[in-house]
Amino acid sequence: MLRTILIILSLGLLLSSCIPKKELTYFQGEPSANKEMYKILNEPYKLQVNDILDIKIKANDETLVALFNQSVSQNIGNAGQVNADQFYLSGYTIDRHGNIRIPYIGELNVLGYTEKEVREKMESELAKYFKDLDDVFITVKLAGIRFTVLGEVSRPGAIVLFQNQVNIVEAIASAGDIAITGDRKRVTIVRKQIDGTKKIRLDLTDINVFSSDDYYIQSNDVIYIEPLKQKSWGTGTTGVQTFTTIVSVLSFVTTTILLAKTL
């Protein structure tokens, strides 16, 4: 009787602790009708506190604008490579009041502005120093998209990607993909906005994630991958691991029973 109970319990544990293929496969199903496969991010990003801007001011005569420049591009030299540390040291960081400090111009409030709006504001300020802005060219770009990936991924941590846009798939791939114990159906994005904090849930096993309004992440997003319940059970994530655990438990139980009978 005891042997039968142990066998039934072992089989139940084996079946319930293995992670089915359906839980691990990305982008299942077919795209819904009348939906774009890849959604284009139309709404421009609005700058937030701690964002870093790369601002370049150019002119035919560079000496005219040299005093206004603090761009990281001035410090790259012949290396031709830019990293997040360089932007942190030489870019324009938005402080807690929403301001950046431009040489000779002073503080500019850019909180909630788009890149285009900051450029237009810069042009307005420079008009005070130049009679003709036709020869002055200004570019304003977000110095990389910064985000954090936590939970069941291979390489959790803070990441910076130097792209205009980053989608959720690229963000997770940059963290080494979701581990086998990660729940692909419950990917959480925590987004701090000017008017508060927003919590977003995405299902990466569904093909229609590509048409989600939140397919593209934003700077300073926190992405969290929840663990599957199989991890908390501690019995293993594959059939082999679970079988090994069950054999060990059965051996321990059997040995305990035999010792108890001999006493």
Question: Distance (Å, rounded) from C-alpha 47 to C-alpha 186?
Answer: 28
Query: What's residue 1's pLDDT?
Result: 56
Query: What's residue 17's pLDDT?
Result: 52
Fold of 52-142: wza like fold (3.30.1950)
Higher pLDDT, 126 or 37: 126
pLDDT band at 135 (very low <50, low <70, confident <90, very high): confident
pLDDT band at 16 (very low <50, low <70, confident <90, very high): low
Cα dihedral 165→191→170→41 (10° resolution): -40
68 with 112: CB under 8 angstroms? no
Number of C-beta neighbours around residue 15 at 10 A: 11
Q: Mean pLDDT over residues 94-121, rounded?
A: 94
Higher pLDDT, 228 or 61: 228
Domain 21-43+145-227: top CATH class:
alpha beta
Query: What's residue 124's pLDDT?
Result: 93
Say whether pLDDT at 251 is over 90: no
Question: Distance (Å, rounded) from C-alpha 64 to C-alpha 66?
Answer: 6
- Token pair in block for residue 42: 């139309």
pLDDT band at 153 (very low <50, low <70, confident <90, very high): very high
3-state secondary structure of 127: coil
Say whether pLDDT at 240 is over 80: no
Say whether pLDDT at 34 is over 80: no
Give 32-37's long-range contacts (Cβ < 8 A, gap of 24+).
32/208, 32/211, 35/208, 35/211, 36/210, 36/211, 37/210, 37/211
Say whether pLDDT at 183 is over 80: yes
Higher pLDDT, 257 or 112: 112
Say whether pLDDT at 31 is over 70: yes
190-217 pLDDT, tens digit per residue, is 998 878 899 999 999 999 999 898 999 9
- Token pair in block for residue 57: 């001011």
Query: What's residue 89's pLDDT?
Result: 76
Q: Mean pLDDT over residues 232-257, rounded?
A: 60
Question: Distance (Å, rounded) from C-alpha 204 to C-alpha 21?
Answer: 14
Q: Mean pLDDT over residues 21-50, rounded?
A: 77
Would you tell me the crossing angle of helices 239-262 and 2-17 to the nearest 10 degrees?
160
Q: Mean pLDDT over residues 83-112, rounded?
A: 88
133 with 205: CB under 8 angstroms? no
Mean pLDDT for the chain overall: 81
- Structure pTM? 0.75
52-79 pLDDT, tens digit per residue, is 999 999 888 788 788 787 654 444 444 4
Return the ∠ at Cα 208 (arms to 217 and 190), rounded to 5°. 30
φ/ψ bin of 98: left (φ > 0), alpha (ψ from -120 to 50), beta (otherwise):
left
Q: Mean pLDDT over residues 36-50, rounded?
A: 74
